[in-house]
């Protein structure tokens, strides 16, 4: 096999996902995974069954991750084709697949139909920004605040603790929680928006890294779930149409 160059030591040293990536890239002109294995064994590891078994494990991993699928175009049971996800795996690498699997959970609907498709297209910056923007939008709507209020100032006003027993707290302040927990919730929302909402001015996250972008989307998902637990006040939604967003 002309395009297979790994030594036995290199095969043993590679993590399974990286080994599977090498196997799939090598097999793009093949149609039968068993024939591929037999050819590699004959050409490279004729007296090394352990290494051949590791390559067989890589094929099993590819199938388990739905990176290959069986094809009806061939009668052999070992016939395969590379799936859509498999082609993305070849394009973006093992790191991309790890990040995709981080997001393989049920997201809230607001993110399921916006941030996830953007992430799967490889637009990590937009996915992360969209997710945090949705947090801002939902906080503003539930608090009934003006669209002119954005970012950390919005979070501060929405979750503001009372200054004294006669002061009215922010619309999303939770009297049912310990005051320290309510303040912590305000700081959590402020910190998330301050760090992750605006990638042009906050470079703590490398949005070219799919793992960090996935974690940002998951953080937004958590914040939206926490927000759902807060009862909507009498002014919820009133500020949403005051100004263009």
What is the rounded distance in angstroms from the CA atom of residue 176 to the CA atom of residue 207? 37
Q: What is the overall mean pLDDT for the chain? A: 88
Specify the domain boundaries for CATH 1.10.10 within the chain.
Answer: 8-92
Supply the Cα-derived Rg of the chain in whole angstroms. 25
What is the rounded distance in angstroms from the CA atom of residue 201 to the CA atom of residue 29? 46
pLDDT digit string, tens, across residues 167-191? 788 899 888 778 889 899 999 999 9
Beta bridge partner(s), residue 79: 32
What is the rounded distance in angstroms from the CA atom of residue 219 to the CA atom of residue 149? 22
Residue identified by tokens 């099993």 is: 60
Mean pLDDT of 127-142: 94
Q: Which long-range contacts (CB under 8 A, 24 or more apart) does 73-77 make?
A: 74/31, 74/32, 76/32, 76/34
What is the rounded distance in angstroms from the CA atom of residue 43 to the CA atom of residue 59? 18
Residue identified by tokens 């470079």 is: 203
Q: Is the pLDDT of residue 132 over 90?
A: yes
pLDDT digit string, tens, across residues 21-72? 999 999 999 999 999 999 999 999 999 999 999 999 999 999 999 999 998 8
Residue 131 has, within 13 A of its CA and on its CB side, a CA count of 34
Q: Which CATH number applies to 8-92?
A: 1.10.10
Q: Could you tell me the pTM of the whole model?
A: 0.78
Residue identified by tokens 């941030």 is: 115
**Is residue 125 very low, low, confident or very high in pLDDT (cuts 50, 70, 90)?**
confident
What is the rounded distance in angstroms from the CA atom of residue 135 to the CA atom of residue 187? 14
Mean pLDDT of 184-201: 84
């Amino acid at each position: 096999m002309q395009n297979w160059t790994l030594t036995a030591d290199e095969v043993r040293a590679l993590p399974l996902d990286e080994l599977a990536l090498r196997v799939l890239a090598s097999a793009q002109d093949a149609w039968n995974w068993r024939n591929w294995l037999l050819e590699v064994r004959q050409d490279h590891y004729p007296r090394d069954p352990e290494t051949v078994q590791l390559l067989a494990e890589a094929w099993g991993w590819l199938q388990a991750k739905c990176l290959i699928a069986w094809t009806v175009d061939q009668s052999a049971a070992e016939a395969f084709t590379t799936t859509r996800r498999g082609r993305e795996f070849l394009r973006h690498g093992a790191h991309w697949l790890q990040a995709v699997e981080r997001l393989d959970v049920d997201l809230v609907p607001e993110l399921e139909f916006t941030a996830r498709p953007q992430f799967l297209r490889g637009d990590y910056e937009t996915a992360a920004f969209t997710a945090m923007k949705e947090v801002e939008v939902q906080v503003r709507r539930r608090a009934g605040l003006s669209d002119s209020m954005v970012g950390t100032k919005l979070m501060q006003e929405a979750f503001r603790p009372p200054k004294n027993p006669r002061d009215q707290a922010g619309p999303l302040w939770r009297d049912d929680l310990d005051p320290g927990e309510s303040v912590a919730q305000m700081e959590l929302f402020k910190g998330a928006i301050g760090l992750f909402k605006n990638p042009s001015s906050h470079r703590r996250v490398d949005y070219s890294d799919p793992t960090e972008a996935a974690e940002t989307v998951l953080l937004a998902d958590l914040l939206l779930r926490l927000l759902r637990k807060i009862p909507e006040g009498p002014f919820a939604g009133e500020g949403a149409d005051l100004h263009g967003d």
